[in-house]
Structure 1
Amino acid sequence: MKLASKVLLAVAAAICANTIRLTVIVNLRSRRLRRANPTLKVIPVIIGVRSPLHLLGLLPSWFPSRVKPNWSFRSKYDEAANTVGDRFALCMPDSTMLVLCDGRVCRDIMMNRSREIMKPFESYTVLDVYGELDATSYGKNLVTTEGEVWRRHKKIVAPAFSERNNARVHEVVCRIADSMFASWEQSNQSGTEERIINVGPDMMELALSVISSAGFGVDIPWHTEDQNSSTFHSGKHTLSFKQALEVITTNGFLWSLLPKFLFSLPIKFLRSIKTGAEEFGEYLDEIADLAESNIQEHPTNLIELLVKAGSEDNNTSAKLSRNELKGNMFIFLFAGHETTANTLTFALALLALNPEKQKKLFDEIQRELNGNKPTYSDLSKLKYALAIMNETLRMFPPVNNIPKITTGSEWTDIDGTVVPPKTNVRISAVGMHYNPNIWGPTVNEFKPERFLEDGDLEFSTTKLGFAAFSEGPRACVGKKFAQIEFVTLLTLVSQKYTWRVADEKLTKEYVLDAKVILVLNPANPVRLAFTAR
């Protein structure tokens, strides 16, 4: 037998032996869990859902106990249907995962059980972009800390999302929207009344510009405008602030995840990430230096607000270090940029497919604003616009699952289901959001009315099954920031245009298809045809 054949035979034998070993482990783990919970649905999974083989979709379709790529969003509530307690478990070789779709149980965990069923912080070290990945708080942020360190971060960070900053967000969206609309008009070269726009990239650019201005105090020009008109000049930098910002939003995770020596290799792509990440960090230092040297009496952007909060506290240990400040600004950028942009994109697509909802939105805007541009104080009147945001987030939650882990050394009781130590608990936002026991038979329909207090569901019941911003101590501090941005932009678009799907041959399923790349994204370009009113 040739050497190559022997090697292949040995590899095949090793794979078979390992598959048998994993199967035995998974079956033993499953049997133990079923014995403790006779009514619990238990799914054996030989290759864990966090394995690169699953995440990259490399497993063949015939592989036993296979979880399909994007399984969480694809299945939504299906796996929990007809189960006791709207829950099921995945037993994998290295861990057990309990997936919860019951709004009452999930809310109780988020609100009341954060010590015994807590966030798995080691999974979030990738977000420590400007800090060392060790046990200290150096360079960490609101998302990656716990205990007293987290409380210190929240005490400083949460107040920065103030009414003054919210008003700044509204003002910035109005200004950037004017630039975006001007670019839409310039692009209309067809001579028809319609402007065909791929809205995804424009929503990304708008959200990036908003966080740049309201977060960092740097106004950046729209891509069709003079790129030298930025309010922050590059000086010694090789990249403009906007270019560095785009690098860190696109590839910041690679910078944090991969060993740093890789970025010094003679590979253009990796070196461009190194340059962008380092220069963005330098820009943050310069912006923070400027804020510290000229502390405003009434700051409006987030970095000025954080610097001012630190300057007013004489207790040095209660302040954010420079790297912690930079770490939190990165989190604001990551959490508030792509998620809001994708939500706006999905909302515009949903309204294009549901013209009666689009008309209802416009009617409310006309009734409340009488043809005027929305002021900041007007936004609270636009309840249907906010309901559209909530319904879009229900159908397309940016984060499909909120991860938790049990901390006790003994088995933990979760609403009658007992699980072993170190069990991964998944609060399934998408499972709750598509749970007909909460939302009724119209669960798969786009129905913003369900989020109005006079809707056909009890509002308290609706809120119980809604986890787009999480709940409890770890709830999203930028919730109002995102709401102001969304409602302002949607109002301005609705005042100026009606819109439909550009290619009417496309199915609803194609237009609304989604995939998870860190967060939930449109799977296909969302091309819409806008007509001026």
Structure 2
Amino acid sequence: MLLPLILTSFIALGTYLYITLRYKRFSQYAHLPQLPPSLLLGHLKTMDEYIRRNPADAHTGIIPANHRIDMAFAAMHEKLGRPPLFLVDLRPVNIPVVLVTNHEIAEQVAKASARFPTSPPKSTLKYLEHLIGSASILSSDDDQWKALRKRFSPGFAPQHLVTLLPCILDKIVPFVKYLDDYAARKETFAFVPLITNLTFDIIGSVVMDTDLDAQNPDPAMQGELVRRFSELLITYNDDKADIPWWLAPIRELKRYQLSSRIDVLIKDTIRRKFAEQRGASMSKEKSRSILALSLGDADSLTPELVNVTCDQLKTFLVAGHDTTSIMLAWVFYELSLHPHVLAAVRAELDSLLGPDTDPEAVRARFLSPEGPEIVQKMTYISAVIKEVLRLHPPAATARYSEPGTGFTVRAPTGEEYCLDGVVIYNCEAIMHRDPDVYGDTADRFVPERWLHDGGAGSQVPASAWRPFERGPRNCIGQEFANIEARVIIAHIARRYNFTKVGLGEILRDEKGEPVINDQGGYKVTSPMYKTSYGEAGGWDESQSGPDRLKLNTQ
């Protein structure tokens, strides 16, 4: 009697599990466009097959973007006929993800609503906690996020940022000297580590009024905060960066130790800077840093205020140095391939700064009373930056709506989709190359599309360009990144000619002359793609990213 009962129980349990699994795979999200799922693996095997089609070293880490995965998503999107969104079922490894590939739907995801006053909450960032802290503005929601945004927004306001131009200019001086040395020696070098160290130094000065000494040519002599951050970043830059801690306990311990030391260093800085502010007898002696401004109304430093401020500074240091440096690397690569764009950039700089390209002369112009106005008048350079961010977006956003919330989006064609219980991923890498928006030039580098001269480019909807995302939770530092990039470009775009070496270099004919394509740019030997980080502060030394360069002065 017992054996039949056991067999009956097993059959009943097996039937229940089969029916449940079949429902979850084939019915639960059947209303969403998707490739055919597997009963046991969902889209995991399909995802793996698409990822394997990409170059083995294409970037899969969290910084600057999950590029190899985005490449796989783009191929899946094409296979499905380019729907406005589609599902990728990653269970049991992760909850399902809906890729948003239409800018109108992305706008609905990022905007505020009665249910979500600050827009839908970010998807879990728990695995980044060692890097950005538990109270980061990135992972905060509702009232906590509002309070942080209100507190730090004045420091990132354009009218305040232009007062910090001297901080930016001071850090560019050693950077130009390093470039001069490479140009004089005519040797190949890795550009991204240099520009990354520069942006690290700038963000340290602007945010904390602190010299991080990130540009020291000897990495061992760089400031301890830079070195510890670099070591911590390495633990996040592989395709297993977000696996559970219990599957990589040694890595988790290392992250904990590095993060704890970073906290000590930053909290010491917060206390020291607060004491300096309180001791300043005259307003002109007071720091203008973002940290100082955020603490302006504080009568005392409570442990909670120190902890929360520390997490914001960690977030600003990570985001503020990394994405800007990679964007600038792509700027100079694209300029090296498009001589007419480079000529237009140089002409604009000549008109704004005068013909003298000496760094001291450029610096003097920015420090003059007209300096802030010059920054704002860099119209064509702003278009170049905007186009680079379109083609090479540094990041994306992921949101999550709890089951039962009823979060629904409407496609341009009228269909409605409930997105409860899935990660909602606004995939800029696909949206920014949408031919329905950008036409036949969707994959081409065309800065002129952003000049708003009444041409076709001026018809691009605002919601179709979102490298800093949009809505109430757009990037707090986007104006800082733009100002910083313009000033750096102004110092070096006229001073040097950049030549890519290795993958992605210019194709030359038998006479050694560049081969020109039908758009007036140079053809390349092979396509470019983002690669993983291989060392602190920069991309790896394989010649795959816009990194290995040669310089010669103008």
Alignment of 1:254-265 (within 5 A): 258=245
Gaps of 5+ in 1: 1-17, 62-67, 133-138, 231-238, 264-268
Structure 1 counterpart of 2:9: none
User: Does residue 198 of the first structure (1) align with residue 190 of the second (2)?
Assistant: yes
Q: Find the aligned partners of 1:96 and 1:259 in 2 and give their Cα distance.
A: 22
Q: How far is 1:472 from its partner?
A: 0.8
Contact kept in structure 1, 2:37 and 2:43, CA below 8 Å = no
Q: For 1:446-457, what aligned pairs fall within 5 Å after superposition?
A: 446-454=445-453, 456-457=455-456
Task: Specify which of 148, 154, 157 is matched with residue 153 of structure 1.
Answer: 148
Distance 1:115 1:55 in 2: 38
Q: Which moved more, 1:86-95 or 1:510-519?
A: 510-519
How do 1:489-508 residues align onto structure 2 when only pairs under 5 Å count?
489-502=488-501, 504=505, 508=524
Decide whether the 8 Å contact of 1:22 with 1:93 is kept in 2. Answer: no
1:500–1:528 Cα contact (<8 Å) kept: yes
Q: What is the number of equivalent residue pairs in this alignment?
A: 477
Distance in 1 between residues matched to 2:306 and 2:388, nearest whole Å: 37
Counterpart position of 2:486: 487
Question: How far, CA to CA, are the matches of 1:56 and 1:404 in structure 2?
Answer: 24
Deviations 1:360-380 (A, max 9, x none): 111111122223524333111
Structure 1 residues 459 and 27, CA, compared in 2 at 3 Å: closer, same or farther? farther
Taking the aligned partners of 1:329 and 1:293, their CA distance within structure 2 comes to 18
Partner of 1:89: 87
How far apart, CA to CA, are the structure 2 residues paired with 1:329 and 1:23? 50
Aligned to 1:216: 208
- The letter of the residue matching 1:304 is A
Whether the 8 Å CA contact 2:168–2:202 is kept in 1: the answer is yes
Which residue pairs with 1:352 in the alignment? Answer: 336
Instruction: Report the Cα offset of residue 490 of structure 1.
Output: 1.1
Distance 1:471 1:207 in 2: 24
Residues 267-278 of structure 1 aligned to structure 2 (within 5 Å)? 276-278=258-260
State the 1:511 CA deviation. 5.9
Other-structure match for 2:423: 424
Residue 411 of structure 2 corresponds to residue 395 of structure 1: no
1:44 counterpart residue number: 37
Contact 1:397 1:429 in 2 (8 A): yes
**Identical-pair percentage:** 14
Matched, 1:282 2:264: yes
Q: Structure 1: which amino acid aligns with 2:298?
A: G
Change in CA separation of 1:410 and 1:520 when aligned onto 2, cut-off 3 Å: farther
- Residues 453-489 of structure 1 show CA distances to partners (whole Å, capped at 9, x for unaligned) of 2163354634220110111111101011111111111
| 1:6-30 alpha-carbon deviations (Å, 9 max, x no partner) | xxxxxxxxxxxx9xx8999368533
Alignment of 1:119-198 (within 5 A): 119=120, 121=122, 123-129=124-130, 139-163=134-158, 165-167=160-162, 169-188=164-183, 190=185, 194=186, 196-198=188-190
CA gap 1:356/1:76 in 2 versus in 1, 3 angstroms? farther
The whole-number CA distance in structure 2 between the counterparts of 1:343 and 1:326 is 26
Residue ranges of structure 2 left out of the alignment (5+ in a row): 1-13, 56-65, 356-360, 508-522
CA distance in 2, matches of 1:281, 1:27: 47
Which residue identity lines up with residue 461 of structure 1 in the other structure?
V
Q: Supply the distance in 2 between the matched residues of 1:364 and 1:56 (Cα, whole angstroms).
A: 43
> Is the CA contact (8 Å cut-off) linking 1:195 and 1:529 kept in structure 2?
yes
Query: CA 1:246 to 1:56, structure 2 compared with 1: closer, same or farther past 3 Å?
Result: farther
Amino acid across the alignment from 1:102: N
Match of 2:58 in 1: none
| Structure 1 residues 421 and 240: CA distance shift in structure 2, 3 A | closer
Residues 1:532 and 1:47: Cα distance change in structure 2 (over 3 Å): farther
> Residues 23-63 of structure 1: CA distance to partner in whole angstroms, max 9, x if unpaired?
993685334544x46xx454526647799x959979999xx
Does structure 1 residue 70 correspond to structure 2 residue 62?
no
Q: Specify the code of the residue in structure 2 equivalent to 1:366.
A: D
**Which amino acid in 2 is paired with 1:368?**
L
Q: 1:527 to 1:93 in 2, by over 3 A?
A: closer
- Residues 312 and 472 of structure 1: is their aligned pair in 2 closer, same or farther, counting only changes over 3 Å? farther
Alpha carbons 2:389, 2:467 under 8 Å: kept: yes
Tell me the SS of whatever aligns to 1:425. strand
Alpha-carbon spacing, 1:479–1:290, altered in 2? closer, same or farther (3 Å):
same
1:411–1:418: 8 Å Cα contact kept in structure 2?
no
- The SS at the match of 1:529 is strand
Contact 1:91–1:97 at 8 Å: present in 2 too? yes
Deviating more after overlay: 384-393 vs 120-129: 120-129
Structure 2 partner of 1:366: 350
1:514 aligns to 2:530 (yes or no): yes
In the other structure, the counterpart of 2:104 is 104
